[in-house]
Amino acid sequence: MGGINPYIKQVEADLPKNKYRITFVSQSPEGEEVEQVVEVDPCGLPYTDEGLPGSVLDVACGHGVDIDHACGGVCACSTCHVFVDKGGDTCNETTDAEEDMLDLAPGLEENSRLACQCIPDGSSEVRIVIPTWNRNQVSEEH
Ligand code: FES
């Protein structure tokens, strides 16, 4: 699933014109901090159909970085909640629809965003912290 949600106001964002980097910070199952650095090439966008084109989720999914995204990136859940640790001022403004979904997210902070709606313009590096509860987890246990 993925694409655009026709029931919400469309997001306005500037796509990057130059290459830039996103550092994704997550925790390994052993509790160690793991950094994955991705170079975003504007010519390659969109990388997937998960989230808005050029969004943090689109970049993550295109580079094997796990961020949960139960609704497929159409701003209809809050499972893609991340923290924009650096470069938040280079990202598009949150919309009312994103704010509404964020209100449902656990552990809300001032720098909280939905990865599927957050689009950096590429004017500086961005650092994204993925909450431990938002990593795709596969479990065979019942
Ligand atoms: S994946 Fe559902 S709101 Fe982002």
Question: Hey, which of 50, 61, 77 would you mutate to test ligand 1's pocket, going by the most ligand atoms within 8 Å of its Cβ?
Answer: 77
Give per-residue pLDDT as tens, 72-119: 999 999 999 999 999 999 999 999 999 999 999 999 999 999 999 999
Instruction: Give mean pLDDT, residues 53-82.
Output: 96
Those residues with Cβ within 8 angstroms of residue 121's Cβ, 6 or more apart along the chain or in another chain: 13, 14, 15, 16, 90, 91, 92
CB of 114 closer than 6 angstroms to any ligand 1 atom? yes
Alpha-helical regions (H) of the chain: 56-62, 96-102
Query: Taking the mean position of all CA atoms in its chain, how far away is CA 8?
Result: 18
Domains along the chain with CATH numbers: 25-35+56-134 (3.10.20.30)
CA of 126 to the centre of ligand 1 (A): 20
CA of 67 to the centre of ligand 1 (A): 10
